[in-house]
Every structure is written in C-alpha cells, then in structure tokens.
Amino acid sequence: MNFSHILFDLDGTLTDPKIGITKSVQYALAKFGIIEDDLDRLEPFIGPPLAHSFQEFYDFSEEDAWQAVQYYREYFADKGIFENELYAGIPELLSMLTQRQAVLIIATSKPLVFAEKILKHFKLDHFFHAVVGSNLDGTLSDKSEIIKYILEQENLDTASTVMIGDRKHDIIGAHNNGISSIGVLYGYGSAAEMEAIGPTYCIHTVQELYEAFASGEEEAG
C-alpha cells in the first residue's frame, strides 16, 4: 500500500451524500409523474453517472434521462449539494497521507463544479493536488475516461498510482487503466459487488484504510 499518487472517488468514499442525491433523484422523478417515497430505493444512483442510472433503473430514453439530470440539478444545486456529511476519520486520513508526501487527486463522475463546492464546504480542498470531475454536458463522466485523463494530464506512473472507491465503476476504471484499486465497503457498493469485480485490496472502514496506508508506509520506509 505504498503509493505515491492516490485517486479518491468522492460520493460514498469521502462523504456520505445519500440524503442530497436521493432527494434530488426523487425530485426529478416526480417531474415525470413517478412518486418514490422510499429514499433507500434510490441508493443505486449514488456513484454512477446519473443519466445512465435513469435509463437503467427507470427505462428512460436517452432524451428523458438527460432531462431528468437537468431536473435533478435544480434541486441539487441549491439544497442537495449540502445534504451531505463527511465520513468520520476522513480529514485525519487525508492529513496523514499528505504529511507522508502522497499526492492526492479527486476522480469523480460528479460535475466538477459541484465536486469543488463540496470539498470547499467540508474544508478538504487544500488536501488535493487536483480535482477531476465530469462536465455539465455529460462528457467525461465515465470513470475509466476520468482516470485515463488524470494519468495522462499528470504523467503518472501506473505502478505507483491507486484508485479508491466504493462502487464497481471505480474498480473497473482502475482495471481498464492498469492501476491498483482499493474497494471500500463503508460506502454504497455491496460486498458482492466488490467481490465480483475484484479490487486489488478490499477495506471495510475508514480506520482500516488509515491503518493500511500507515503500516504500508512504515514497512516501505
């Protein structure tokens, strides 16, 4: 676990965005006459590109899915973005990693403009060398594309770079770009989802993640 460059997913990895994301999806669905009162049923929307999820879970056409994303943003931009909370121990983890000279980068499918606001809101922005997210027009939303973009822009060595995330898309993105991956089970991906996709490492808690990096650095030193 001795990596010089560490890519972090945002939703479900650094913060728990459940209320904000599911309420935004609920708002968008209502615009189409679909009433969903159980926010737990909307958890699968956390992580993957939104347009894909509207198509996958509600059989929306590509056009309707894109319109649903616009409705989603109406709620999210003002309210949902801050209906979010940090996972306990995240600031301490990021502080330890930066003190050990690791370069931290955000790799998220969330639009860059929202990701930057969330990091600033939680006072995490200073930990990150770069923040890479999707564009508002839906481009650069696939995690494989995002990781490839980061590797090329930063000219990173794949052997010393790792992707950390809670959903299969994070791990698939790492696989597709030849870098190591850490699947975290405290987010929104199930153990079965992680087991099926095979991350390099699987971690259950933020504390376990902290200890894995801390011990790895000590052994390497």
Angle at 64 between CA 59 and CA 65, to 5 degrees: 70
Report which residue type is found at 79.
Answer: K
- pLDDT band at residue 197 under the 50/70/90 scheme: very high
Write down the pTM of the prediction.
0.94
Q: For 62-115, how does the pLDDT look when each residue is reduced to its tens digit (9 = 90+)?
A: 999 999 999 999 999 999 999 999 999 999 999 999 999 999 999 999 999 999
Domains, the chain, with CATH or none: 5-16+85-220 (3.40.50.1000), 18-82 (1.10.150.240)
Mean pLDDT (the chain) is 96
Query: What is the C-alpha to C-alpha distance for residues 114 and 99, in angstroms, rounded to an integer?
Result: 27
Q: Write b or e for each residue in 136-165: b if 16 or more Cβ atoms lie within 10 A of its Cβ, otherwise e.
A: eebebbbbebbbbebbeebebeeeebbbbb
What integer pLDDT is reported at residue 1 of this predicted model?
Answer: 82
- pLDDT band at residue 38 under the 50/70/90 scheme: very high
Mean predicted confidence (pLDDT) in 152-157: 98
What integer pLDDT is reported at residue 20 of this predicted model?
Answer: 98
pLDDT for 37 beyond 90: yes
Query: What is the C-alpha to C-alpha distance for residues 89 and 216, in angstroms, rounded to an integer?
Result: 18
Q: For 134-154, how does the pLDDT look when each residue is reduced to its tens digit (9 = 90+)?
A: 999 999 999 999 999 999 999
Which residues on neighbouring strands pair with residue 49, listed in sequence order?
Answer: none
User: What does the DSSP 8-state code read for residue 123?
Assistant: T
pLDDT for 195 beyond 50: yes
Of 54, 57, 23, nearest in space to 38 by CA: 23
User: What does the DSSP 8-state code read for residue 9?
Assistant: -
Which positions are catalytic? 9
Q: How remote is the C-alpha of 118 from its chain's centroid? A: 12
The number of residues making up the chain comes to 221
Show the tokens assigned to 24.
Answer: 């935004």
What integer pLDDT is reported at residue 211 of this predicted model?
Answer: 97
User: What does the DSSP 8-state code read for residue 49?
Assistant: -
pLDDT for 219 beyond 50: no
What integer pLDDT is reported at residue 35 of this predicted model?
Answer: 98
